Amino acid sequence: MAYALQQLINGISLGMIYGLIAVGYTMVYGIIGMINFAHGDVFMIGAFIALTAIVMLIGGGLLEGPAAILLVLAISMAFTALYGWSVERIAYRPLRGSFRLAPLISAIGMSIVLQNFVQVSQGARVKPTEPLVTGGITLMREGDFVVQLSNMQMLIIATTLVVLAIFTWLVTRTSLGRAMRACEQDRRMASLLGIDTDRTISLTFVIGAALAAVAGTLYLLRYGVIDFYIGFLAGVKAFTAAVLGGIGSLPGAVLGGLLIGLIETFWSAYFSVQYKDVAAFGILVLVLIFMPTGLLGRQDVEKV
């Protein structure tokens, strides 16, 4: 029981990170109907920028405590957003109206570029960091087993909730959000009504990348070890989350993220750690084959 509760806590905090990345996939899919294969690598870039900022600020002794973490988050979001914008501008915008697989192939290329750019510029070795946020509270004891909710996990959950609240406000209450939703429903009609669709799409990528940067920063703080390859697995899992929740649906992405996080954690806890990625990939396959609209998605109508 205590063991399961601990897994639940771990699963939720992991799922929050997946959810943040999944929002980026689902937004882009909703608005331009393509899988942004490079999104996982944008997440990885976010983690690297956060790492550099941490080494600079905290290692340099400039700042400490919560203020430092907030600043690291802000730096990572700002610079990663620039990456998101550039990726769209370079690799996807020229391909509007090209054949269907072209943006996907371009996205795969972009993913390879980002990974190897980081490998060349930052080195292939893993980067370990000291944990910044330590301690926690004990929720329950059962014999020798202690159920802990660490401060880091609380930070992850709190940050994610705040960021998602801001994001929800942005999408539902601002004119930008309205423009985004309009583009999602019918891009050509939106542009006829005077919405700058290119700008809206760019901003979608910027927002998605900023959320991925939050995820990257939290991932770095939580796990403490990153390398240039983390984006691939995290990206596939977050994509699975987006599909599971129903691609195109924002609450679905968060829900899917939580589910994937929980499934992965419980699978590793009760079945086998070696095959935990198989669990995620297996869910992806099963969902796409049997339930392509996901939990909260809309039915796609195929038109000629």
Partner 1 sequence: MSQPRKGMAAALRDAALATAVAFGLFVIMVGLRTDVAPSGALFLRTRWPDVALLCGLVFAGRLVMSLWQARPRAPAAPKLGGTMQRAGRALGPALLAAALLLPFTPGIGRYELDLGILVLTYIMLGWGLNIVVGLAGLLDLGYVAFYAVGAYSYALLAQAFGLGFWVCLPLAGILAAFWGILLGFPVLRLRGDYLAIVTLAFGEIIRIVLLNWTDLTGGPNGIGGIPRPSFFGLPFNMSGEPGTFAGFFGLEPDPVHRVIFLYYLILALALLTNWVSVRLRRQPIGRAWEALREDEIACRALGINVTTTKLTAFALGAMFGGFAGAFFATRQGFISPESFTFIESAIILAIVVLGGLGSQLGVAIAALVMIGGFELFRDLEEWRMLVFGTAMVVIMVVKPRGLVGSRTPTVALGERRAIGSEHVQEGRG
List contacts with partner 1 (CB under 8 A): 34-35, 45, 48-49, 51-53, 55-56, 59, 75, 79, 82-83, 85-86, 90-91, 94-95, 98-106, 108-125, 127-130, 232, 236, 239, 274-275, 277-278, 281-282, 284-285, 288-289, 292, 302, 304
- The radius of gyration computed from the CA coordinates of the chain, to the nearest angstrom, equals 19
* Residue with token string 């995290």: 234
Query: In angstroms, what is the minimal distance from the CB of 191 to partner 1?
Result: 14
The C-alpha atoms of residue 165 and residue 147 are separated, in whole angstroms, by 28
CB of 6 to partner 1, least distance (A): 25
Nearer Cβ to partner 1 (130/144): 130
Kindly state the smallest distance separating residue 190's Cβ from partner 1, in Å. Answer: 19
Q: How far is residue 149's CA from residue 138's CA, in Å, rounded to a whole number?
A: 6
Do 294 and 256 contact (CB within 8 A), yes or no?
yes
Closer residue to partner 1, CB minimum distance, 9 or 238? 238
Q: How far is the CB of 114 from partner 1 (least distance, A)?
A: 8
Residue nearer to partner 1 on the CB measure, 12 or 27: 27
Instruction: Name the packing angle between helices 197-223 and 175-185 (round to 10°).
Output: 110
Which residue's CB is nearer to partner 1, number 71 or number 95?
A: 95
**Residue placing its CB nearer to partner 1 in the complex, 168 or 191:** 191
Which class for 212: exposed (0-12), middle (13-18), buried (19 or more C-beta within 10 A)?
Answer: buried
Q: Smallest gap, in angstroms, from Cβ of residue 78 to partner 1?
A: 8
Residue 245: exposure state from Cβ atoms within 10 A (0-12, 13-18, ≥19): buried
Shortest separation between residue 146's beta carbon and partner 1, angstroms: 28
Looking at beta carbons only, is 175 or 274 nearer to partner 1?
Answer: 274
Give the dihedral sign, CA 261/265/267/273.
Answer: positive
Q: For residue 255, give Cα distances in angstroms to 169, 238, 280.
A: 18, 11, 15
